[in-house]
Structure 1
């Protein structure tokens, strides 16, 4: 569903002049020049919004031509400077006490259990990253941690806060027991609970109760023998195990769970972790591995790399955890029969959404297009492309008279005209590199069962990780990297896409989609709902929006309510980014290393240096800093490594399609973020199922690189000239992201 569509054509080419309320930080990039912002009024990428056509582009040899039509208009920052936070996740009290909110959800097993004993044959994945039945109600909670060590007192108070329902018998384990060499899968030094004096000393904790009712304290470091006073920097592994009140069971679901095993660093807060010797002891991940900043996901030792794209940001707050799971439920709900994609016989049917699927659609659930929150299903010859989007326009650039703005390939009416789009063939060519290596490249050929549209473009669904962090970037951070006239003469430009919000009419900077044609997650979600499922929302309230109807906003009631639209955007905002897998983990000698952690750090470091040397970073910007205006505190002021500038670049004629989208001509594409690209082989179910680039033509990292043209010609040529061992090192680096 998400982010593959480029949407109802609401784009406009406007020269940027920010309205009050912006905020931002410079990007760490060779081309980050804030002085360029004053020259962006000369941006040579224009076209009249009324024409909905773009004359931008050209190759890497000439600047895009054209001048803006009409008056220069200003853009509106996505978030104003006074945007309030949804939830405060960390603060200091006047005496120096550090207060941290740690959100948590139920899990089925432990973090280091991978389906069998460590020294036994591989028996399959663990169940640490799964979502148990009924996960979205009565089961999220959090710990409010009051760390007095910065105030000079060796004590930490922990309060259990329940989001919904009643917990009875929750246990709390702390400090991984590194003093016992037999502790492997799990084992802690301190095991405690939360006894409530208002409940006769019983371990009963309720939602909305005063936090002091359920608390525990510890005043020494249990990782040392004898115990020592707590000091800043001490590591405390936290492993709560929630238990619901069972008489009667609150909602028919389970009552006993485990939860995430998180690392708290005294005086610092929650930190993503990886396992070091002995026995995968918890250790904070180095900052350079945190692709999503503190929203990054810890290394996984339950051998579930296929689920790493589905996890909450590591720094998520307590209330925001409930927002996350409620949005996830919608993402997994069928708008045909209301069933959840997981445990459909046990999870309750979401009756409010039965029968809301449009008469035409591609899939009934968001998750159907995003395999495990990853990409579209890899299609074979003759297969229907119904987990991808086939965007369409007529010859005049408006909605195609048959399909609208995209082909909806399924119909609820069995007698409806079939609109199948299939992979007809692969055009094959062979690229011979300077050292003689031959690489086969393939380009998909599509067949339409209905009329072939005048303009069309196939778009695979990308992974949905880190979207909130991208939304949290200040406009100035992104615009600082733009070089529309190639002022530095390196052949690399980069231009922004200016988007008119379909609800407010305000102009925002485009961030999402293969052509940066959506400015916000709300816009993207609403666009995908209407186009992929025919489901209306406050963003696009009638199905006529999919066909460009002039009265598309006339409806008063929609399938997805305002609150549910917010839940979906909240969920997508709070999905974390897996940390870079560039470090060896501390598996004991003789124990099988999990495949995702079988890495070569020196090779990865060499590949990273070569990636920079051949100037891939000219577009794939390594480091940015998010702003401080996003509603989610988890996303504010984070140093992130998306490996994208989020700008449009000319990628040459070989990657161009036939569809024009406002100022994004067929050869202009947004730099795709590279974070998570190395996990695709696990998420998609194997290397053979991974597809890269907008239409999924590239079957490997190497193929994707060799398709780069236009502004990327120089970098690609330098890469091709590298010795094979160096090319392999670059690929190893990319596979670590």
Structure 2
């Protein structure tokens, strides 16, 4: 049933006033807000923080119904049946959009605090000197508790009424003086920020003060907008397709020195600037002329569907992999930040990797690091959610993983007698064996293309301080974006891309790998890891905790699992990571967004320096995409997939995505083979890695010189990576190399746009 405010005192009815008349009244309604919509706060406290509901109460995802085994219909796929990861009818963790009986569209949009504005760089817009990035994409201190919130948007335009109700929904505690800035000004004197509407969420139950609680009813903290402030004429009613920029600014109750009363942290923030499209919902956006004005990104650029991350204009491309899905819900935003905290937590002292002396330590995870390990935090292998450090000769490969197996192993499942299932290169105990692994040298060769251009290739030679394993595989950590979307693709969609007998005669096969769930023993389709050896993000997270940190979880309950001991999961002892924490970690990884394809020119004002990541040539990128398809690269790097309807996160359901992968195994030839078999994956077989985000790596890794490609990081450039393609990819590689230099450059420009 539709809910309505019962009196004028319970809403702010913001019909747009004439330009020079009633604007002062609107600004008078604001309490303690600056003209640009809020202020960041960097106050600190030495006091021990009080735990918030967000940090103590489990934010669990509803359990899925049991999935029945499904027979595998295609012969030659290496299995007779599998269990779908998610059963039909799996409940959603949070509903993010629905339509009421009368046609009213309801959207629940999650927000997190930020330090500055979306278009605010390190220097003023027209200053020619670049002094560094802005602070829109970073995470303020204390971000992981008591500071997430959302907007419930009841759009009645589809129901035939020009009325949009926007309610502030607080996840934990109380917000005060929280304002809503909306409808970006088109004044030529406005640059980094500036809004036509600035208003507070006045609560009639709090004497019309801007005070909103986690327990407040939606109509208690509500703003009502009845006309389109973007239109030239005041009073113009909304119509489907109109857009509204939304930028709430959260404030927490605080002491005189601006320390939040609830936990002693910061109290004043900005937040994400989202674009709402009438009759549609929250949309990823980019800036057009004349002043980087917000418009929805075309569907063709949304690599992650509606979970794609908007273009960034605060010059923070190095932080683009860390952003949450654009369509994230309100409660799911809390799940995201809680999981991110764990991803950044040291298992030595519990400190956060960012502002470790300000952010409160996660003390329950102090002293949980295993006796042998590779790193102390998840983020240390995936810096800024990117890839491993460059494997330079002589340096320890402790941000990479070295999988191992015994000489007697035929399927990679017999552990090495010294190392177990992987080399844990570092140890806590003084005098423990040194098991570090490094690149001893590179064997270099030169490949000559048909037009005479040469490409130098290098193949690593490894040095083991301990015994050399009979079988091993060196693998770099991949970037962690879009993983939840890959998890959400139905098995039937992926298996339809398999061609184990090369039935179409194109020289490309493609077979799935199968992964056994260590908690249930059931067989699932493999999706994650360089050889698709892990079935889910929960499975992948548990394996990484065990192998790289020596930390137990409900997935792998004892350290004996790292040694491959039979029945290692039979233990009933408490694990380092609880059920709540493994859910938070996998939820965080699921809800990370994917950067939208940077294939469009942004509308920078004349005289303003264009950020390097947006200095693109759309025609060249389009040409490169065509040539990529003509070379049949898309046979393995499948351009488009559709996610299913059963993932627990509604944000990931029914999305048209462009990951450029089929998640199948392909034989890439002897030059890329290691010596380890993993399930169905022979030494020369590798899962097709997704290409989304590949163009952002040079920013995330701190420069192109710090980016490496392929499983072991041997390739320094995309040209080298392509030149290493053999086996089933030989034909596509040859087609690419036969292109003119200009056309090869266009293909590379296309890849760099992803």
Q: TM-score, normalised by structure 2?
A: 0.89
- Contact 2:471/2:676 (8 A) holds in 1: yes
- The 5-angstrom pairing of residues 35-74 of structure 1 reads 40-43=74-77, 46=78, 73-74=80-81
Match of 2:267 in 1: 255
Deviations 1:633-669 (A, max 9, x none): 0000000000000000000000000111121100010
1:508-567 Cα deviation digits (max 9, x unpaired): 100001001111111100011000000000000000000101131132210000000000
Does the CA-based 8 Å contact 1:21-1:82 persist in structure 2? Answer: no
Give the conservation status (yes or no) of the 8 Å contact 1:150–1:232.
yes
Say whether 1:678 aligns with 2:685: no
> How far 1:38 sits from its partner (Å)?
7.2
Aligned to 2:33: none
Match of 2:712 among 666, 689, 695: 695
2:130 to 122, 131, 148: 122
| 2: CA distance, partners of 1:19 / 1:207 | 35
Matched, 1:466 2:482: yes
After TM superposition, list the pairs within 5 Å mapping 1:110-259 onto structure 2. 110-120=117-127, 121-178=129-186, 180-227=187-234, 228-247=236-255, 249-259=261-271
Q: Distance in 2 between matches of 1:618 and 1:137?
A: 45
- Aligned with 1:182: secondary structure? coil
Q: CA deviation at 1:19?
A: 6.9
**Structure 1 unaligned residues grouped into runs of 5+:** 1-17, 23-36, 47-71
Which whole-Å CA distance do the structure 1 matches of 2:723 and 2:232 have between them? 57
Judging changes above 3 Å, is the alpha-carbon distance between structure 1 residues 19 and 196 closer, same or farther for their aligned structure 2 residues? closer
The equivalent residue for 1:33 is: none
Q: How big is the shift at 1:20?
A: 4.3
- 2:114 equivalent to 1:80: no
CA drift at 1:336: 0.8
Does 1:506 pair with 2:522? yes
Give the corresponding residue for 2:685: 668
Match of 2:500 among 484, 505, 529: 484
1:644 aligns with 2:661: yes
Displacement of 1:704? 0.3
SS at match of 2:353: coil
Counterparts of 1:387 and 1:334, CA distance in 2: 15
Q: Give 1:491-530 correspondences, 5 Å limit.
A: 491-530=507-546
* Deviation string, structure 1 residues 57-82 (Cα, Å, up to 9, x no partner): xxxxxxxxxxxxxxx64211100001
Identify which range, 226-235 or 488-497, moves more after superposition.
226-235
Distance 2:677 2:83 in 1: 25
- By relative contact order (CA 8 Å, sep 6+), the higher-ranking structure is 1
Q: Distance in 2 between matches of 1:369 and 1:494?
A: 29
**Residue 301 (1) aligns with residue 313 (2):** yes
SS at match of 1:146: strand
Unaligned runs of 5+ in 2: 1-65
Q: Counterparts of 1:714 and 1:658 in 2: how far apart (Å)? A: 25
Do 1:174 and 1:191's aligned partners in 2 also have CA atoms closer than 8 Å?
yes
**Matched residue, 1:30:** none
CA distance in 2, matches of 1:208, 1:498: 46
What is the correspondence of 1:542-553 to structure 2 with a 5 Å cutoff? 542-553=558-569
Match of 2:446, SS? strand
Report the CA distance between 1:226 and its aligned residue: 2.0
* 1:523 counterpart SS class: helix
Partner-residue secondary structure (3-state), 2:438: strand
Secondary structure of the corresponding residue to residue 403 of structure 2: strand
Using the TM superposition, give the Cα deviation of residue 211 of structure 1 relative to its aligned residue in structure 2, in angstroms.
1.4
The offset of 1:414, in angstroms, is 2.0
Match of 1:597 in 2: 614
In structure 1, C-alpha distance between the alignment counterparts of 2:87 and 2:559, rounded to whole Å: 31
Which residue number in structure 1 is paired with residue 367 of structure 2? Answer: 355
Per the alignment, residue 443 of structure 1 pairs with 459
What's the secondary structure of 1:220's corresponding residue? Answer: coil
CA contact (8 A) 1:465 1:576 kept: yes
Is it true that 1:379 corresponds to 2:413 in the alignment?
no
Per-residue Cα deviation, 1:383-433 (whole angstroms, up to 9, x for no partner): 010000011111012111111111111111121011110111111000011
Superimposed CA distance per residue, residues 292-341 of structure 1 (whole angstroms, 9 cap, x where no aligned partner) = 00000000000000000000000000000000000000000001110000
Q: Distance in 1 between matches of 2:167 and 2:639?
A: 38
Partner of 2:406: 394
Q: Which residue is equivalent to 1:66?
A: none
Work out the CA distance in 2 between the residues paired with 1:138 and 1:493: 51
Alignment RMSD: 1.2
Distance 1:463 1:714 in 2: 28
Question: Contact 2:533–2:679 (CA<8 Å) still a contact in 1?
Answer: no
Distance 1:662 1:311 in 2: 33
- C-alpha separation between the residues in 2 aligned to 1:379 and 1:673? 22
Provide the rounded CA distance (Å) in 2 between the counterparts of 1:97 and 1:677.
Answer: 40
The answer on 1:658 being equivalent to 2:675 is: yes
Residue of structure 2 equivalent to 1:405: 421
Q: 1:103 aligns with which of 103, 106, 110?
A: 110
The number of residues matched between the two structures is 678
4+ residue runs over 3 A deviation:
18-22
Q: In 1, distance between residues paired with 2:701 and 2:313? A: 19
SS, match of residue 320 in structure 1: helix
Shift of 1:371: 1.4
